[in-house]
Amino acid sequence: MIFRDYDLAAGETLEPPQIIWERRDRYAIIAFLILSINKKTDADDLKRLGFFMGITEEDEKSDANDYEEDNNSAKGLIVRKAIICEGNLFLDKISQNENYYDCLIDELCCVIEGHDGCGIGNGYAVNSKNGKRVELKGDANRLFQYFDLVIHDDNYSENHKRFFQHLARKWGVDKSALSILESSSKTLGEINRKREEIQKSEMPHRAAVSAFAELDVQENEAREKLDKLGVGQNQLNDNLAKRLSLITSSLVSAGYLSAEDLREEEEIHDQLENDVPPSLIDKIGDGIVDGICKIGELICAPFDRLSGI
């Protein structure tokens, strides 16, 4: 994001300063539009926008006014604040328009094509050597990130679907791929919800291990479809790392894992933070499940003997 407070051509100070969006800002503005399809954004939506922009909970606690050139966290907070402020001004202007959705689509086209006559902010930075604005590129992976913003909401609507269809046409993603992105995002969201329920429940350990393993199978099936579209391998790494952390933290608190076990888990996390091949991810995942099952058997064995199983 660039603040332009002086017009060199006219030799005049600009008051208020103009806000010129850079490429990454334009992706965040599209996220804002998606979150605003049915209503003006609320606090929960703004947190999602921050997550999309890579703003962490720790960043949220920092002082966004403490701006320094090398402080990416502060810059991210400032950019989000500007998008929200300018975006809400735009929504206020079109809120009474009976063609509200069409206004959002028009703004989407401005964001992608880089038109000066945008409704959010004052324009877009030139990001090419010949001084021309470059159309904002996108693909299936980018669409998948946008689906995750709203797909799990009760208010996911036909307008959302139409918006994604329009975005897919702009970025050359065909209908069959779009359908896979939508269904896979729903499936993975439901899987994550079930994992959290299992974690919070008082389910016996052996049953929990079995339930986790079944969810792993379902996730792998969904991921295989996404892999064919070149989508989400990094997200898979993140989910696997989070799942491993979720399970091991419970076992540690119960006294079932030692310091050596934890060191092995940290090594796996280190591997997952890098772009490892899918084949290695599968092996790591299988090893995690196998290891957890063995731990579960050790835990349950005394009780099994007592019950005569």
Amino acid (1-letter code) at residue 267: E
206 and 120 inside one domain: no
201 and 131 inside one domain: no
Query: Considering the domain boundaries, does residue 154 fall inside one?
Result: no
Query: Considering the domain boundaries, does residue 145 fall inside one?
Result: no
User: How many Å apart are CA 193 and CA 185, to the nearest integer?
Assistant: 12
Domain that holds residue 56: 2-136
- Whether pTM > 0.95 for this model: the answer is no
| Domain tally, the chain | 2
Query: Considering the domain boundaries, does residue 73 fall inside one?
Result: yes
116 and 59 inside one domain: yes
What pLDDT, on a 0 to 100 scale, did the predictor assign at position 233?
54
Last residue of a domain, one of 136, 161, 195: 136
Query: Considering the domain boundaries, does residue 199 fall inside one?
Result: yes
Q: In this structure, what token pair is assigned to residue 94?
A: 């079109």
Per-residue pLDDT 10s for the chain (309 aa) are: 887 776 666 667 767 778 889 889 999 999 999 999 987 777 888 888 998 998 887 777 765 455 454 456 678 889 999 999 999 999 999 988 889 999 999 999 999 998 777 899 888 887 666 767 778 999 999 999 999 999 888 788 999 999 999 999 999 999 999 999 999 999 999 999 999 999 898 889 889 999 999 999 999 999 999 998 888 654 544 445 445 555 555 554 555 445 554 444 445 544 544 444 444 444 445 555 555 554 444 444 444 444 444
Query: Considering the domain boundaries, does residue 204 fall inside one?
Result: yes
29 and 130 inside one domain: yes
User: How many Å apart are CA 262 and CA 268, to the nearest integer?
Assistant: 10
96 and 14 inside one domain: yes
CA distances from 55 to 70, 80, 100, 245, 262 (A): 15, 9, 29, 21, 28
Query: Considering the domain boundaries, does residue 170 fall inside one?
Result: no
What pLDDT, on a 0 to 100 scale, did the predictor assign at position 9?
62
Strands 12-21 and 123-124: parallel
Output b/e per residue, 195-212; b: 16+ Cβ within 10 A: beebeeeeeebeebbebb
CA distances from 168 to 53, 158, 182, 183 (A): 21, 15, 12, 15
Query: Considering the domain boundaries, does residue 276 fall inside one?
Result: yes
Last residue of a domain, one of 77, 112, 136: 136
